[in-house]
Chains A and B, each alone.
Chain A
Amino acid sequence: MTVIVSQLFTGVSIGAVLLLIALGLSLTFGQMGVINMAHGEFIMAGAYTVFVLQKVITDAGWSLLVALPVAFAVAGLMGVLLEYLLIRRLYARPLDTLLVTWGVSLILQQLARDIFGAPNVQTRAPDSLTGNIKITDDLVLSNNRLFILTLALLAVLALTLTLRYTSLGRRMRAVVQNRDLAAVSGIPTGRVDRLTFFIGSGLAGVAGVALTLLGPIGPTMGTNVIIDAFLVVVAGGIGHLKGSVIVAFALGTLQSLVEYSTTVSVAKVGVFVAIVAFLQWRPQGLFTLRTRSLA
């Protein structure tokens, strides 16, 4: 019993990490119709932000808190730059965007190597986040995982509120649903695109801050985690946050339960098979956007 509960907790927390990574990705995916392959490198930028900030702010707890908004801004600005320089020229060619952003991710990784060096760097976590909450001797909930879960849920909440109740949110949804119609209705689609990219990429930065608590901080950290997030977004469907939320937690739990009874590789392959089977059932993802466009 304890095992199942602790595995469920692990599953949910894996889901939370996936969600945090996939949230921004899902936003930009909905808007440009293709996956931003450089999203992983925006995560990396967020993590390096913590590293740099800790050179200035020595207290581990404060530096982490300050890093959240700063990483959001850093990664967000990188996203805007990417959108402005490249992606906005490519909205008619979504598959090419995928390759272009892959090239950008290669360049960003090498830049990180040249700036920070190839080896992983270390950041300090505050003591309050390296401990855990003991429920029984065998069942402990680690604080860093709880922190990430809270962060992910807050991000979902903030994003939902923005999309539903602000005028920016309404415009963003309009562009996703029908770009041409939005444009003729007087929505400045260019500006909305840039803002969407700012928020989506910024969320990647936040995810990067969270990942410093769990894993290595190095030039390739983004590529290690990004493929699973791609699958979450693809299976979740375009333009619906709740699709990504449900799929992220489902995949996390599936992975942790399968992994417990078998091995990591079986779990990874199992997740892939599950996704292919799932897309047979719902080819456009869990939730599809109803529009009148033909393509």
Chain B
Amino acid sequence: MLDFRGRWKAALLPLAAVVALSACGSKTGENESSTGAVADTSGDTVKVGLLNSLSGTMAISEVTVRDSIRLAVDEINAAGGVLGKKIEPISEDGASDWPTFAEKAEKLIREDKVAAVFGCWTSASRKAVKPVFEENKALLFYPVQYEGLEQSPYIFYTGATTNQQIVPGLDYLKAQGKTSVYLVGSDYVFPRTANKIIKAYAQANGMTVLGEDYAPLGSTEFGTIVNKVKASKASAVFNTLNGDSNVAFFKEYKSAGLTAASMPVVSVSIAEEEVKSIGTQYLDGQLTAWNYYQTTPGAANEKFVKAYKAKYGQDKPTSDPMEAAYVSVYLWKAMVEKAQSFDVAAVRSASDGVTFEAPEGLVTIDGATQHIYKTARIGKVGSDGLITEVWNSGQPVKPDPYLKGYPWATGLS
């Protein structure tokens, strides 16, 4: 035993070294002169990062987003690139794991020195990479609808915030005379925040919330929840379930004898791709709230759908997050061209008022919030698996991530 003493001392040495070294780091709150990572735009190409889960549970959704970003990049390159430089996409796999997202974001910014990063899907992955982008003063374009209550100077949000998706969904239910709702969601940030907003809305608009249930992500046993929904006799269901759970929920819903006619379900996470995997047998006539459908009319969308199918296959549908991702690349290009520079600060200050004729219609960047004006659309799932619009907001809705323009929402954030 005695001979261990020497080694214990040896082990202490490194620790002493640590203490000595630690003396030179800066303390929190001290003024830093950090300028962040600088994008390398010296060559005749400009690198951008694509950060999506290509493996793991989220790959199903995120691969389609990656594909549509690639489509936009290819189109832009074919048309001459950005400021005369070809875009060179560097794709990284977030592996459906949030620390991996943070790690890959850091790699893209620091090692590859990209000018901007496009990607992330879940709120958790966005929250994980947010400090990385803020610390390095780099740009992220986030293409998915989300729960709002966020406004990072280094993130552009091209998906819907709550007042462009959830609030219009509720307005629609109210206009249809639905006075009571039951809330069903997966157990994570988006459904919980969305439901908080729905409850505040209901209180101010004479609707009643008859119940609220959360299933763990990936949960596929909905017998009890559907029993509760049925027993509540609500006039509609607001569904924020995600992924696999939707399949189990709608199968159970149908076999309990509930239908779109008797108790319609408004879903905010079911797009064309998900309809395909749940089956129209179970979804026929149910409602969704988004900003874009494959069937949205307009020349820009016809071109997008045609190009996407030509590149990835005729049976591949296009969906809202894919469209938002496609749009985000074009918006970045427009901002860079307006700023005449790839510099992050210049791009940001040029952002306000930049527009793009998107497949979903005209979108405009709101410089103050770094979100975009989007048209809200309620759709109905048809027996052919496509979603057709039954209502839209008429004009693009101004993004309001903190719901400041809604008196009933005070105290939510």
Provide 8 A-B residue pairs closer than 8 Å at the C-beta atoms, listed in order of the A residue.
Answer: A119-B273, A120-B277, A124-B281, A143-B255, A144-B251, A255-B224, A256-B223, A259-B225
| Contact mask for chain B residues 365-382; partner A; CB cutoff 8 A; 1 contact, 0 none | 000000000000000000
Q: Render A112-153 as a binary contact track against B, CB cut-off 8 A, 1 for contact.
A: 000000111111110001111010001010111100000000
Check B224 against A132 for contact (C-beta < 8 Å): no
Are A130 and B254 touching (Cβ within 8 A)? Answer: yes
A215 in contact with B220 given A124-B281, A264-B214 (CB within 8 Å)? yes
Residues from chain B with Cβ under 8 Å of A142 in the complex: 252, 255-257
A129 to B220, CA, bound (A): 18
In angstroms, Cα B225 to Cα A220, docked, is 22
Say which residue of A118, A122, A268 sits within 8 Å of B279 (CB atoms). Answer: A122
Number of A-B contacts (CB under 8 A): 116
Please tell me which stretch of B11-19, B31-39, B226-234 contacts chain A, meaning at least 4 of its Cβ atoms lie within 8 angstroms of it: B226-234
In the bound complex, do residue A140 and residue B187 qualify as a contact, i.e. CB atoms below 8 Å apart? no
B152-167 contacts to A, CB under 8 A, are none
- Once the chains bind, are B216 and A265 in contact (CB under 8 Å)? yes
Total interface residues in chain B, CB < 8 Å:
36
Pair B59/A214 contact, Cβ less than 8 Å: no
Q: Is A160 an interface residue (CB 8 A)?
A: no
Chain B residues whose CB sits within 8 angstroms of the CB of A3 once the complex forms: 227, 231
Are A215 and B248 also in contact (CB < 8 A) when A260-B224, A268-B216 are? yes
Task: Give the complex CA separation of A180 and B257 in angstroms.
Answer: 55
List the B side residues contacting A280 at CB < 8 Å: none
A5–B219 alpha-carbon span in the complex (Å): 24
* A10-B227, A130-B254, A263-B213 known; A119+B220 contact, CB < 8 A: no
Residues on A with beta carbons closer than 8 Å to the beta carbon of B228: 260
Flag if A216 contacts B257 (CB, 8 Å): no
Chain B residues with Cβ below 8 Å from A260 are 224, 227-228
Q: Is A196 an interface residue (CB 8 A)?
A: no
Asked whether, in the complex, the Cβ of B277 is within 8 Å of the Cβ of A218, the reply is: yes
Known A142-B255, A215-B248, A215-B251; judge A224-B220 contact (CB<8 A). Answer: yes
CB-defined interface of A139-175 with B at 8 Å, one 1/0 digit per residue? 0101111000000000000000000000000000000
A220-B224 in contact given A143-B255, A214-B251 (Cβ < 8 Å): no
Question: Which A residues are in CB contact (< 8 Å) with B224?
Answer: 7, 10, 255-256, 259-260, 264
Name B277's contact: one of A10, A122, A129 (CB within 8 Å): A122
User: Does chain B have a CB within 8 A of A14?
Assistant: yes
Kindly state whether residue B343 has any CB partner on chain A within 8 Å. Answer: no
Instruction: Kindly name the residue among B220, B227, B252 whose own CB sees the greatest number of chain A CB atoms within 10 A.
Output: B227
B285: Cβ under 8 A from any A Cβ: no
Contact mask A174-212 → B, CB, 8 Å, 1/0? 000000000000000000000000000000000000000
In whole angstroms, how far apart are the Cα atoms of A10 and B255 in the complex? 12
Closest to B223 in A: A10
Q: Which 3 A-B pairs have the closest CB atoms?
A: A120-B277, A142-B255, A216-B247
**Interface size, chain A (Cβ < 8 Å):** 45
Q: Are B214 and A263 in contact (CB under 8 A)?
A: yes
Quick one: which of B249-270 are within 8 Å of A by CB? 251-252, 254-257
Contact, CB under 8 Å: B277 / A221: no
Q: Restricting to A1-51, which residues have a CB under 8 Å from any CB of B?
A: 2-3, 6-7, 10, 13-14, 17
- Given A134-B257, A264-B214, is A119 in contact with B276 using a C-beta cutoff of 8 Å? yes
Question: B57: which A residues are within 8 A, CB to CB?
Answer: 220
Q: Is A53 an interface residue (CB 8 A)?
A: no
Q: Is A225 an interface residue (CB 8 A)?
A: yes
Nearest A residue to B385 by beta-carbon distance?
Answer: A122
* A213 lies within 8 A of chain B by Cβ: yes
A13 — nearest CB in chain B belongs to which residue? B223
- A118 near B220 with CB under 8 A, answer no
Please give me the residue from chain A that is nearest to B248 by CB atom: A215
Write the nearest CB–CB distance from A45 to chain B, whole angstroms.
Answer: 17
Give a binary string over B202-232; 1 marks a CB under 8 Å from any A CB, 0 the rest: 0000000000011110111101110110110
A14: chain B residues within 8 A (beta carbon):
221, 223
- Per a CB cutoff under 8 Å, which of B219, B227, B248 touches A264? B219
Q: Which chain A residues border B223 with CB–CB below 8 Å?
A: 10, 13-14, 145, 256
Contacts of B219 in A (CB 8 A): 224, 264
Shortest CB distance A5–B (Å): 11
CB-CB under 8 A for A213 and B251, given A118-B59, A260-B224:
yes
Q: A71 to B13, alpha carbons, bound, how many Å?
A: 63
Q: A7-B224, A130-B255, A132-B255 are in contact. Are A118 and B248 (CB under 8 A)?
A: no
User: Across the interface, which residues of A come within 8 angstroms of B214, CB to CB?
Assistant: 263-265
Which residues of the partner chain B approach A214 to less than 8 Å between Cβ atoms?
220-221, 248, 251-252
Contact A118 B63, beta carbon cutoff 8 Å: yes
Task: Give the distance in Å from the alpha carbon of A217 to the alpha carbon of B254 in the complex.
Answer: 17
